[in-house]
């Protein structure tokens, strides 16, 4: 018996879905004769979603939200303390650091909204769900970073042209140290959670916070220069902070841009191919496509089976291949497998 299943064929789920063991869902297409039901399983690309994977995705969103709100509070308190010192001292370096910390705290808002949207179920308009909102939030974060860089640069240049003494230098130094510690704690928290749940936007936000911490240390240099009577030291440090912001902006633009272009780590593709080739009955692996939707992955794969296999046997290979994909790739929530036969 010879069976084909190509990606450009049978791409729409049959209205009547059936649920099989382990919480996986299959679509069906119409066939002929007694094998209509079984052919429907085989010719229609399979899409399995294990219940534990769905639960893990929801848990990941909850972890992301918790990380965002905790880091927002920490950064908001840090920015408020720094803002008070800015009013006393007039330090533009500290002002730039404060504004950047405040912008970093506020980026939790669009990202938090994206995590909430990502938990909504897919529908007939958004058939893949709302996970892409997380990538749009990443764009918002990039714009916020760019805006803070412009503000810091303009303020520092103005102070270079119109020098003013900086007062309360010890308070400025203390505020800078507090900003460094607060940002580094938030950076570690965001990056750790972002990597665990697969969120590029959250990792980018964490790297952003780490750069803010380094910028806060630079404010200490400005305070030291002011103590030596160097009025240009404070605005110069403000410009250095701008350069640091632009450096992290470049990396964030790259990471968020790759997500928007459906880029994935080639190592994930290698792991998926190894998992498929290890399946008993898979003779070869054809095209393999993967994409991020929010902080979860989706995959499509073409596998070749022996042309002499019966419909039922080929169907079992397809199911095993889908399960192997989900096991082999972290954060993979759904897999679609297309079956083809080996040439005679």
As for how many domains the chain has, the answer is 2
On whether both 222 and 73 belong to a single domain, the answer is yes
Do 134 and 247 reside in the same domain of the chain? yes
**Cα 127 from Cα 11, distance rounded (Å):** 13
Residue 249: closest CA among 123, 132, 112, 103: 103
**199 and 76 both lie in a single domain:** yes
| pLDDT the model gives residue 13 | 35
Of 220, 237, 260, the residue at which a domain comes to its end is: 260
Q: Quote the DSSP letter at residue 122.
A: P
Share of the chain above pLDDT 70, in %: 76
**pLDDT higher than threshold 50 for residue 294:** yes
Mean pLDDT of the chain: 75
DSSP label at residue 283: E
Residue 280 confidence (pLDDT) above 90: yes
166 with 285, same domain?
no
Task: Provide the CATH number for the domain around residue 74.
Answer: 1.20.1510.10
> Over the stretch 157-199, which tens digit does the pLDDT of each residue have?
877 777 666 666 777 778 878 888 888 888 888 888 888 877 7
State yes or no: pLDDT of 282 exceeds 90: yes
Flag whether 5 is in a domain.
no
Q: Which domain holds residue 30?
A: 18-44+265-341
Judgement on whether residues 329 and 273 belong to the same structural domain of the protein: yes
Pair 230, 163 in one domain? yes
Is there a domain that residue 319 lies in? yes
217 and 100 in a common domain: yes
Q: Give me 219's structure tokens.
A: 């404010």
Residue 161 tokens, joined: 């042209």
Exposed / middle / buried, residue 192 (Cβ in 10 Å: 0-12, 13-18, 19+): middle
Do 109 and 172 fall into the same domain? yes
Statement to judge: residues 210 and 242 lie in one domain: yes
- Lowest mean pLDDT, pick from 9-18, 280-289, 302-311: 9-18
pTM score: 0.62
CATH number at residue 270: 3.30.70.1350
pLDDT of 320 > 90? The answer is yes
Alpha helices, DSSP H only, in the chain?
36-43, 51-89, 92-106, 108-118, 133-161, 169-197, 200-227, 233-260, 266-277, 311-328
């Amino acid at each position: 018996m010879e069976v084909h299943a190509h990606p450009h064929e049978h791409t729409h789920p049959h209205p009547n879905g059936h649920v099989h063991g382990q919480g996986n869902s299959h679509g069906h297409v119409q066939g002929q004769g007694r094998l209509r039901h079984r052919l429907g399983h085989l010719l229609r690309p399979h899409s399995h979603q294990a219940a534990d994977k769905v639960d893990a995705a929801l848990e990941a969103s909850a972890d992301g939200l918790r990380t965002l709100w905790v880091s927002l509070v920490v950064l908001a308190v840090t920015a408020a303390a720094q803002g008070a010192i800015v009013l006393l001292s007039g330090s533009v370096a500290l002002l730039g650091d404060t504004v950047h910390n405040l912008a970093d705290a506020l980026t939790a808002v669009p990202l938090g909204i994206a995590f909430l949207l990502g938990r909504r179920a897919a529908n007939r308009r958004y058939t893949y769900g709302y996970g892409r909102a997380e990538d749009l939030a990443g764009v918002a974060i990039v714009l916020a970073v760019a805006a803070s860089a412009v503000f810091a640069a303009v303020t520092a240049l103005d102070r270079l042209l119109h020098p003013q003494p900086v007062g309360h230098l010890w308070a400025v130094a203390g505020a800078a140290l507090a900003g460094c510690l607060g940002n580094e704690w938030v950076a570690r928290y965001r990056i750790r959670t972002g990597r665990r749940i697969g969120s590029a936007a959250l990792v980018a936000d964490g790297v952003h916070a780490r750069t803010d911490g380094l910028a806060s240390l630079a404010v200490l240099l400005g305070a030291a220069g002011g103590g030596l009577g160097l009025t240009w030291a404070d605005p110069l440090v403000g410009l250095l902070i701008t350069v640091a912001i632009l450096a992290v902006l470049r990396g964030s633009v790259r990471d968020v841009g790759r997500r928007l272009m459906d880029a994935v780590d080639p190592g994930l593709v290698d792991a998926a191919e190894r998992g498929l080739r290890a399946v008993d009955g898979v003779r070869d692996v054809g095209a393999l496509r993967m994409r991020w939707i929010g902080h979860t992955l989706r995959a499509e794969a073409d596998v070749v089976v022996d042309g002499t296999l019966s419909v039922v046997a080929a169907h079992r290979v397809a199911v095993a291949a889908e399960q192997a994909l989900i096991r082999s790739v972290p954060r993979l929530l759904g897999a679609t497998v297309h079956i083809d036969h080996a040439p005679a």
